[in-house]
């Protein structure tokens, strides 16, 4: 079945790769944007996807380059904007992560505005854009009406959360002013098989945890988790569902680190998973996911997402279970 043509930005990324896999399986023609279409090492996994030879086109685009998304987006009915500045060692947060996230989003949306074929834009935001606040009632699960405080993010120096919150707010302002149909998806911590050969930061954090390292996960404290396939399916569902509107939390289970390692130790007794964590002061919260579930969506369990993730890490040679 031909579902028409859509664009996916940041096509070689962890989530974008999985989203492209799902879109191709559903019969879409996909235009993916990448920094270097000639980089076979980074892109072979995309060309190996079912349907890629017939219905995938990869084009060059730079988040920071004005107008560089015009060619990719023109003629597409839908745009999935997943590209975001890559996390690494940050010297200047404003220049390295905040400006690229906000200006990159505007860059993509300006190209969308020039495209008369456009039906809807789906932006990948983050559940962190709703949970970093001075005060909230921990008895009431957080829903889509909640926003993180940019001032608190700055005070706590959590630049990624600040960049995602500012980028999403900017997207809403621009789309409301310019009559663009926007829906945003806010995944929690994404777990699952990695299609790209190099692991992204979340997959590296999980690998570290399975090998006994606590440092990176200690920072996270209490977290929501979601299967990567659920995030991809959720993007497509809100794109295809006429009535979908606004923001959608995409998260399966919210648990503390100690609860997580207890589940993982039971599943993988041979791995050197930490027994417990030094507890950081983190507010207790839950997510209310009724909005996406009202569209008929069901989430995979925490056991399923980690089982699929570990299988993939073993197959790619990153981890041994013996």
Number of CB atoms found within 10 A of residue 132's CB = 20
What whole-number distance in Å separates Cα of residue 246 and Cα of residue 39? Answer: 36
Torsion of CA 214, 215, 218, 223, to 10 degrees: -80
Q: Helix, strand, coil: what percent of the chain each, to 5?
A: 45, 15, 40
- Go through the chain and tell me how many residues it has: 322
What whole-number distance in Å separates Cα of residue 71 and Cα of residue 58? Answer: 11
Report helix, strand or coil for 101. helix
Give the mean model confidence (pLDDT) for residues 59-85: 93
Per-residue pLDDT reduced to its tens digit, 22-62? 999 999 999 999 999 998 888 999 999 999 999 999 999 99
Number of CB atoms found within 10 A of residue 234's CB = 25
What sign has the CA pseudo-torsion 280, 286, 289, 291? Answer: negative
> pTM here?
0.94
CATH for 5-193+224-253+286-299 (2.60.40.1230, 3.40.50.300, 3.40.50.720, 3.30.450.20): 3.40.50.720
Short-list 6, 18, 57, 9, CA closest to 200? 18
What whole-number distance in Å separates Cα of residue 140 and Cα of residue 86? Answer: 33
Query: Where are the domains positioned within the chain?
Result: 5-193+224-253+286-299
pLDDT at site 280: 67
Per-residue pLDDT reduced to its tens digit, 193-215? 999 988 888 888 899 999 988 77
What whole-number distance in Å separates Cα of residue 290 and Cα of residue 298? Answer: 10
Q: What proportion of the chain, given as a percentage, has pLDDT over 70?
A: 98
Per-residue pLDDT reduced to its tens digit, 239-281? 999 999 999 999 999 998 889 999 999 999 999 998 877 766 7
Report helix, strand or coil for 255. strand
pLDDT at site 214: 79
pLDDT at site 282: 74
Report helix, strand or coil for 226. strand
Average pLDDT, the chain: 92
> Hey, what are 321's tokens?
């279970």
pLDDT at site 193: 94
DSSP of 147-163, one letter per residue?
---HHHHHHHT-HHHHH
pLDDT at site 70: 97
Per-residue pLDDT reduced to its tens digit, 81-101? 998 776 667 788 888 889 989
């Amino acid at each position: 079945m031909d579902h028409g043509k859509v664009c996916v930005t940041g096509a070689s990324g962890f989530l974008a790769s999985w989203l492209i896999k799902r879109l191709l399986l559903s019969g879409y023609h996909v235009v993916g944007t990448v920094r270097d279409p000639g980089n076979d090492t980074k892109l072979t996994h995309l060309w190996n996807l079912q349907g890629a030879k017939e219905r995938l086109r990869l084009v060059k685009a730079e988040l920071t380059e004005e107008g560089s998304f015009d060619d990719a987006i023109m003629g597409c009915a839908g745009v999935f904007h997943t590209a975001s500045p890559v996390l690494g060692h940050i010297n200047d947060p404003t220049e390295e992560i905040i400006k690229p996230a906000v200006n990159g989003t505007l860059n993509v949306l300006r190209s969308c505005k020039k495209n008369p074929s456009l039906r809807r834009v789906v932006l990948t935001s983050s559940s962190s854009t709703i949970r970093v606040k001075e005060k909230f009632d921990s008895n009431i699960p957080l829903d889509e009406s909640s926003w993180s405080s940019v001032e608190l993010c700055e005070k706590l120096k959590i630049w990624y959360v600040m960049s995602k919150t500012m980028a999403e707010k900017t997207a809403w302002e621009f789309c409301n002013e310019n009559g663009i149909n926007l829906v945003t998806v806010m995944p929690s911590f994404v777990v699952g098989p990695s299609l790209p050969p190099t692991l992204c930061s979340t997959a590296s954090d999980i690998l570290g945890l399975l090998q006994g390292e606590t440092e990176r996960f200690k920072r996270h404290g209490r977290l929501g988790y979601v299967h990567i396939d659920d995030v991809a399916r959720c993007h497509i569902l809100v794109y295809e569902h006429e009535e979908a509107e606004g923001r959608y939390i995409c998260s399966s289970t919210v648990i503390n680190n100690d609860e997580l390692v207890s589940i993982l130790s039971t599943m993988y007794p041979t791995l050197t998973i930490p027994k417990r964590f030094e507890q950081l002061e983190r507010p207790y919260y839950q997510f209310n996911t009724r909005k996406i579930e009202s569209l008929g969506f069901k989430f995979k369990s925490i056991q399923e997402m980690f089982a699929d993730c570990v299988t993939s890490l073993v197959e790619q040679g990153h981890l041994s279970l013996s």
